[in-house]
Amino acid sequence: MEHTLRAGIIGCGKIAINHADTLRDFPGASLVAVCDSDVDRAKEFAREYGTERVFSDAERMLAECGLDVVHICTPHPSHEGLVLAAARAGVHALCEKPLAVDVAAADRMIAAAEDAGIKLGTVFQRRYWPAARRIRAAIDDGTLGTPILGDCTVLITKDRAYFEEDEWRGRWSTDGGGVLMNQAIHYLDLLQWYLGTAVRVSGRIATLRHAGYIEVEDTAVATVEFEGGALATIRASTAAVPSLGYRVSVTGDAGGTVSLIESPIGGPGVADVWAVAGAEEYHMPWGAEIESHPPQPEVHRSLKPYHALQVRDFLDAVVEDRRPEIDGIEGRKSLALVQAVYESSRTGRTVTL
């Protein structure tokens, strides 16, 4: 008899919709329980999705509902405790990015998942864009040769209303960081997916435009050296108006340079530069008519098909008893990069990972 996976969601806010919609469309799983510390939010969410059980306490949901899988869609510092609780309950956990707010927490989460024999996934759905996979394939099949140079540029708009919409945003204790931890991390994930393991990081962060109502950085720069010698630069800011979007580029030792741009925000990412000898393609995906900073719900809606691909990979990994494509170890890598920039900025030194 085919088993339908019993899924739960913790955190019934904005991104939880992408997870719940995917579960609704996925024949092998069903959303049976939801939890939010704000129980009215959980109730409303449960009504919308026809979910049987509603909780304000995640431990109780994990203990009482016989779940196979839990989707963790809460603010960053809570991810660790919730993954550890899922591990204790023997429930596979798919956790929204960033995996945690520091590497020590990520290590505890990875170890707990290993010990409990549960799958742990970190959501980086931008890896599922065809354009993102095309760059990975050009590295794997030798088209680019070995990557030697990369760049990650994030020039986006966040206004005061964004930071004030949710109480947790913009503070070290509840957000864990600013533009690097929250927005650029998707692109740092792609950068390290293409260039490999970061070994030395030097950077500076600052709060230059949103000072007064946020503590965390709104602007950051860094240089990174990867195992094998490749170098990369990072520039990120939530202070750019209008928003130019996100871009990552890779140059290989075969000479080619390829890059991916997300503009308008929400994507889908497009390979704007494909400077590979004999196969050149250039696309300018945006124009003056494009709303470069669409409202957040619209951004989340456009991200949904790629959330769906990653959620499906995770559920398949549970059924097939294999590692999910983006597991805890993968999720830890971009977090290590972010933490290294913070440490370098604090100490004025290059950080060796």
Ligand X SMILES: NC(=O)c1ccc[n+]([C@@H]2O[C@H](COP(=O)([O-])OP(=O)(O)OC[C@H]3O[C@@H](n4cnc5c(N)ncnc54)[C@H](O)[C@@H]3O)[C@@H](O)[C@H]2O)c1
- Classify strands 219-226 and 198-206 as parallel, antiparallel or unpaired: antiparallel
Q: Closest approach of Cβ 19 to ligand X, in Å?
A: 9
Burial 208-219 (b: 16+ CB within 10 A, else e): ebbeeebebbbb
Sequence-distant (6+) residues with CB within 8 A of 186 are: 97, 124, 126, 246
Q: Closest approach of Cβ 273 to ligand X, in Å?
A: 24
Q: Which amino acid is at 240?
A: A
- Which listed residue (5, 33, 34, 35) binds ligand X by CB under 6 A? 35
Q: Which is nearer to ligand X, 13 or 28 (CB)?
A: 13
Q: Closest approach of Cβ 321 to ligand X, in Å?
A: 25
Of 255-294, which residues contact ligand X (CB under 6 A)? Answer: none
Q: Which is nearer to ligand X, 28 or 75 (CB)?
A: 75
- Which listed residue (28, 30, 37, 116) binds ligand X by CB under 6 A? 37
Of 308-337, which residues contact ligand X (CB under 6 A)? Answer: none
For residue 145, give both structure tokens: 């040769």
Q: Which is nearer to ligand X, 97 or 247 (CB)?
A: 97
x/- site string to ligand X, residues 103 to 132, per CB under 6 A? --------------------x-x-------
Q: Closest approach of Cβ 228 to ligand X, in Å?
A: 29
Q: Closest approach of Cβ 36 to ligand X, in Å?
A: 4
**Nearest CA among 336, 351, 301, 327 for reference residue 181:** 336
Residue in the shown chain whose Cβ atom is closest to ligand X: 13
Cα(172)–Cα(180) distance, integer angstroms: 12
x/- site string to ligand X, residues 48 to 87, per CB under 6 A? ----------x--------------xxxx-x---------
Q: Closest approach of Cβ 145 to ligand X, in Å?
A: 31
Of 5-34, which residues contact ligand X (CB under 6 A)? Answer: 10-16
Q: Which is nearer to ligand X, 77 or 252 (CB)?
A: 77
Sequence-distant (6+) residues with CB within 8 A of 40 are: none
Q: Which is nearer to ligand X, 54 or 273 (CB)?
A: 54
For residue 269, give both structure tokens: 């990412």
Phi, psi of 327 (to 5 degrees): -95, -165
**Is-contact 112 119, C-beta < 8 A?**
no
- Which listed residue (118, 236, 303, 335) binds ligand X by CB under 6 A? 303
Q: Which is nearer to ligand X, 112 or 230 (CB)?
A: 112
Cα(261)–Cα(248) distance, integer angstroms: 7
What residues form DSSP beta bridges with 10? 35, 72
Burial 48-62 (b: 16+ CB within 10 A, else e): ebebebbbeebeebb
Q: Does residue 216 bind ligand X (CB under 6 A)?
A: no
Burial category of 281 from C-beta neighbours within 10 Å (exposed 0-12, middle 13-18, buried 19 and up): exposed
Q: Which is nearer to ligand X, 16 or 89 (CB)?
A: 16
x/- site string to ligand X, residues 178 to 207, per CB under 6 A? ----x-------------------------
Over 308-343, what HEC string results? HHHHHHHHHHHHHCCCCCCEHHHHHHHHHHHHHHHH
Q: Name the residues that contact ligand X, by CB under 6 A.
A: 10-16, 35-38, 41, 58, 73-76, 78, 96-97, 123, 125, 166, 182, 303
